[in-house]
Amino acid sequence: MQDSGSTASFRGIDSVDGTVAWASGTEGTVLRTTDAGQHWTKCAVPDGDKDGATLDFRGVQAWDAQTAIVMASGPGEKSRLYKTIDGCKTWVLLFKNPDAPDGFFDSFLFPKVQNIAKGSDGFGLILGDPVNGSFALYETRDHGAKWDRILNEKLNSLPKDSGAFAASNSCISGFGGRNFGIVVGAGAESSMVRIAFLGGMWLDDPPAVTPHFWKSISLPISKSNESSGPFSLAMISRLPPSAGGKFLFAVVVGGNYTKPNDSTGTAAWSSDGGATWAASTTPPHGYRSTVQWSEAERLWITAGTNGSDLSRDDGKTWQPLDNGNWNALSLPFIVGPKGRIARLNPAALPKP
């Protein structure tokens, strides 16, 4: 456990390199460490002279000790993006929810590896809850200065009672290329929508390079009401020991956040980039809101409000790690309510 010096509820965490990391949460709170978490410094509140202290920053993404973007999640105009380039001394408003008084931002992503296509550096995505029957999905191609809504029939064809979860800023994931997935639930279906970008256009944009590449794929994750579904998606690509080609692995976690100890439908895995999914045969020991692959430890970690679990077989089976109250991961850090921040101790991990 680390001393955050805050009582905010944290749902945003981004570790740049294990030494520099940023955390974000309620009451306009943004923290930064530059010494691997020994000290966490409170940042200036974005729009602190206005309503910044009322914002809930549920997502943060950082590039170094000076540059970061935070996402506020809230109804209508309470959903916003701010950016700092001076180590959080000052902030600039990048984007405010254009659908106010409707709409709610759930997750945003700037791929750390920008190798989608020539001229795509600065590409990013925001996912928001449905407005007028269609999920709000926005893209930028200039580091967030300008955002445009993405229109696609798949966003309209999802169940009308669907929604996404702003629990850990991890509803969107990708392999570092042009393929991405977004996970949605909160209703009759739990789904991953596969989307793809080719530099200058989405693959379903006219003229379509690969028609109908966008696809909605059913997930074996808990569903049936507004508190259930997939909460977090993580994707990785890696060469198997025998080489020969890349394997595209994905893990999705979720459940029912009102039943934190219910392990039913809390995790699923894919070994083909998310085309097909199977439920974990030994699931985590409760609802989970965040999941991530640890390259250093060669395992997956997932966490939620009743603890965390690890998997050494790409999500097929899980074993308990701890019983803490957690919201979000960016290894080696994890955050939760009431100012909770901790750093993973590899020496304490259960042996295989």
pLDDT digits (tens, 9 = 90+) for 149-173: 988 888 888 887 889 999 999 999 9
Report the mean per-residue pLDDT for the chain.
91
Q: How far is 71 from 11, CA to CA, in rounded Å?
A: 11
Asked if 13 and 334 touch (Cβ cutoff 8 Å), the reply is: yes
Q: Which of 67-71, 200-204, 317-321 has the lowest mean pLDDT?
A: 200-204
pLDDT by residue (tens digit) across 292-310? 999 999 999 999 999 999 9
* pLDDT for residue 116: 45
**Domain topology for 102-345:** Neuraminidase (2.120.10)
* pLDDT for residue 141: 85
Please say if the pLDDT value at position 3 is more than 60: yes
Please say if the pLDDT value at position 145 is more than 70: yes
* pLDDT for residue 242: 54
* pLDDT for residue 32: 98
User: What ranges do the domains of the chain cover?
Assistant: 102-345
> What does each C-alpha distance from 189 to 18, 49, 224, 234, 287 come to in angstroms?
37, 42, 7, 19, 17
pLDDT band for 200, please (50, 70, 90 cuts): low
Closest by CA to 134, choosing from 110, 166, 102, is: 102
Question: Can you tell me the mean pLDDT for 198-209?
Answer: 64
Looking at this protein, which amino acid is placed at residue 218?
S
> What does each C-alpha distance from 78 to 37, 192, 230, 243 come to in angstroms?
29, 26, 24, 48
Please say if the pLDDT value at position 178 is more than 90: no
Q: What is the pTM of this model?
A: 0.94
* pLDDT for residue 204: 67
Task: Tally the C-alpha atoms within 13 A of residue 236's C-alpha that lie toward its C-beta.
Answer: 15
DSSP type of residue 156? H
pLDDT by residue (tens digit) across 88-129? 999 999 999 999 999 999 999 998 765 444 555 688 999 999
Which string of DSSP letters, residue by residue, matches 334-345? EE-STT-EEE--
Sort 210 into a burial class: Cβ within 10 Å, 0-12 / 13-18 / 19+: exposed
* Cβ neighbours around 194 below 10 Å, total: 18
Question: Can you tell me the mean pLDDT for 178-201?
Answer: 84
* pLDDT for residue 117: 47
* pLDDT for residue 179: 80
Question: Can you tell me the mean pLDDT for 63-76?
Answer: 97
* pLDDT for residue 234: 97
* pLDDT for residue 241: 54
Of residues 119 and 246, more confidence is placed in 246
β-partners of residue 6 are none
